[in-house]
Amino acid sequence: MLLPNHKSLKGRTAVITGGSGVLCSEMARELSRQGVNVAILNRTAEKGEIVASEINNNGGQAIAVAADVLDRKSLEKAKETVLEAFGQIDILVNGAGGNHPDAITSDETYQEEGTLEKSFFDLDENGFSKVFASNFTGTFLTSQVFGQELLKQKSPVIINISSMSAYSPMTKVPAYSAAKAGINNFTMWMAVHFAEMGMRVNAIAPGFFLTTQNRNLLLNDDSTLTARSQKIIGHTPMRRFGDPKDLLGTLLWLIDEETSGFVTGVTIPVDGGFMAYSGV
């Protein structure tokens, strides 16, 4: 079922980091359907080209741009490419991030020393820092680089991507959880800082969605649920994983000033009730 048409979005330009990912690529397709020009940023342009080509083949306007969210020069170059293509930037979706094995413990809780494959004390400092940076610092740098262009527009918007782990940290992933908690706080900070200039800053906190990155953690080889995902589904009142399309209504509501013009500094959970459920 198609979502309602947001006429005020037509002709605007959105930059989406991590735009070839499962969740953000769906956002890119929907924004294009709404008449938004879309710039898909990834570390390698090839991944973004797949999504951009699909959008263009369906009558939209999209480009894929190589950019590293931890490299300011790379982001500055990407900004110039977007401006050359579309002339303006109205929307920024900070979707780049992810996790890495070097920043993940093997067990949920610490046991007797020497019995764990990888305990908290075995986590690699560089891996931990890289995960934190890709999720938090990348959002900061991208907002800095594109923010000045956003402020030139009538109704600029930044959407950050948070996580359920921001509210209550998931076991095994301390760097990711800390970074996403920082995203919520940073979203509020930026919202206050730019409010008088008319730029709204909000975030979406997806619940548990099957993506390329987490599929091996959530599904066994025969596509049955792993023990970890059984706990997730058991704690999700709607008893399912999210579908990428579940995020789109919230995205459009937050981006369109006609539907959320007095909303800024909030993080909206889209989680099937996960955060609301106490477990009893």
Q: Which residues participate in catalysis according to the annotation?
A: 176
The size of the chain, in residues, is 280
Taking alpha carbons only, the member of 158, 152, 153 closest to residue 8 is: 153
Taking alpha carbons only, the member of 54, 162, 69 closest to residue 38 is: 54
Taking alpha carbons only, the member of 243, 234, 245 closest to residue 274 is: 234
Report which residue type is found at 7: K
Taking alpha carbons only, the member of 273, 254, 247, 262 closest to residue 25 is: 247
Distance CA 249, CA 229 (A): 25
Distance CA 280, CA 38 (A): 44
SS3 content of the chain, % helix, strand, coil (to 5): 45, 15, 40
Report DSSP letters for 106-124, one per residue: SSSS--STTS-SS-GGG--
∠ CA 85-134-192 to the nearest 5 degrees?
75
**Whether 98 contacts 135, CB under 8 Å:** yes
β-sheet bridge partners, residue 41: 17, 65
